């Protein structure tokens, strides 16, 4: 299903925070659209590279809204194992069930006991299982009286699934390598199952983000399409980019937007020259505008006056930055 059939480059997706779901404000660039369409057509995961705060994770949520697909996410950390994205085997519950039956003097036959304590009965579906075969995951979850991942209005598993694997570079290299079968072959083999779980005809859109903190295995990258999300290098396109994104989130005076963008660009250039990391970027720019907007609602002159004071905390985070000097 083509995104271009639904939206055009430059379109924005805006949904208020409702029913426990956070607000969504996303600007779809032409590059975003082409990358998602290519991943859908090639039936490959989309690996999104770029500095923190540029909108990599948000792209997945926005794509799910546009495509009206179910959305599932998983945030990777240093303790993540590849199985955490596929299934969870609850060995503790299985042992507790066996001990409880023994303590209660369970008189069921050995055959019934073996059936009830089968490993497959204690396996819970995780994000890639839901993405590859929603019905199979739902049946497995129902055994434990668990419900499918809750969805925002309009997002339906009957249309397929979008799964976000966020910050995969936080994990060891054996994590992406352990996902090759699921991502490449569209199958996974849970513990205790005789047959693997196979991908349905509704091929999921898998979006994987990295902040480049750790190199990813070549075999893993080869199985992905890659989208590089970055800020323009030249000052004029960068200023235009920042203001364009700001207008998706805020209704602010043009002078406030211009001043904030120029401030961010100045601090970013200083950080680049000094090789400070991370560079102040889009996330810091939006934090600056959010702060002044809340501190002086609908008062452009006061907002502009506040920019320099607030930028010290939102943009100039390095102790040696000029803005932080006495």
Domain residue extents for the chain: 3-86+126-228, 89-123, 235-324
CA distances from 83 to 38, 59, 80, 195, 289 (A): 27, 25, 8, 17, 40
pLDDT at residue 57, rounded to an integer: 94
Which helix (H) or strand (E) is 162 found in, with range? strand 156-166
Tell me, what's the pLDDT at 8?
83
What is the per-residue pLDDT for 107?
55
Give residue 14's pLDDT: 84
The conformational region for residue 257 under phi > 0 = left, psi -120 to 50 = alpha, else beta, is alpha
The CATH superfamily assigned to 3-86+126-228 is: P-loop containing nucleotide triphosphate hydrolases (3.40.50.300)
Counting Cα atoms < 13 Å in the Cβ hemisphere of 193 gives 17
Q: Nearest-CA neighbor of 214 among 244, 245, 174, 172?
A: 172
Which tokens in the block code for residue 246?
């700001």
Task: Write out the two tokens for 256.
Answer: 């406030």
**CA gyration radius, the chain:** 24
Residue 256, pLDDT score:
96
The residue ranges of the chain whose pLDDT is under 70 are: 1-5, 97-98, 100-116
Instruction: Tell me how many degrees the CA angle 119-124-127 measures, rounded to the nearest 5.
Output: 140
Of 268, 272, 175, 164, which is closest to residue 214 (Cα–Cα)?
A: 175
Alpha-carbon span 175 to 184, nearest angstrom: 14
Q: What angle do CA 15, 19, 25 make, to 5 degrees?
A: 20
């Amino acid at each position: 299903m083509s995104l271009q059939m639904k939206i055009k480059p430059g379109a924005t997706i805006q949904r208020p925070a409702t029913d426990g779901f956070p607000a969504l404000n996303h600007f779809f660039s032409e590059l975003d659209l082409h990358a998602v369409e290519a991943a859908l057509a090639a039936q490959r995961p989309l690996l999104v590279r770029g500095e923190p705060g540029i909108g990599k994770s948000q792209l997945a949520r926005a794509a799910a809204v546009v495509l009206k697909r179910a959305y599932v996410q998983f945030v990777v950390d240093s303790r993540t194992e590849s199985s955490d994205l596929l299934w969870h085997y609850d060995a503790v519950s299985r042992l507790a069930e066996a001990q409880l039956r023994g303590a209660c003097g369970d008189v069921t036959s050995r055959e019934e006991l073996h059936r009830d304590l089968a490993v497959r009965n204690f396996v819970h579906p995780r994000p890639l299982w839901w993405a590859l075969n929603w019905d199979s995951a739902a049946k497995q979850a129902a055994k434990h009286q668990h419900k499918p991942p809750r969805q925002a209005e309009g997002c339906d598993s009957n249309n397929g699934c979008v799964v976000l694997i966020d910050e995969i570079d936080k994990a060891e290299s054996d994590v992406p390598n352990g996902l090759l079968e699921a991502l490449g072959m569209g199958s996974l083999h849970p513990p205790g199952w005789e047959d693997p779980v196979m991908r349905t005809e509704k091929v999921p859109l898998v979006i994987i983000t990295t902040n480049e903190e750790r190199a990813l295995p070549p075999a893993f990258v080869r199985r992905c399409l890659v989208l590089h999300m970055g800020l323009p290098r030249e000052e004029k396109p960068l200023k235009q980019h920042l203001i364009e994104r700001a207008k998706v989130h805020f209704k602010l005076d043009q002078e406030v937007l211009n001043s904030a963008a120029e401030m961010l660009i100045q601090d970013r250039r200083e950080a680049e020259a000094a090789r400070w990391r991370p560079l102040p970027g889009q996330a810091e720019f939006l934090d600056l505008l959010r702060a002044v907007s809340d501190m002086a609602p609908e008062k452009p002159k006061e907002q502009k006056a506040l920019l320099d004071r607030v930028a010290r905390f939102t943009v100039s985070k390095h102790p040696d930055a000029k803005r932080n000097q006495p």
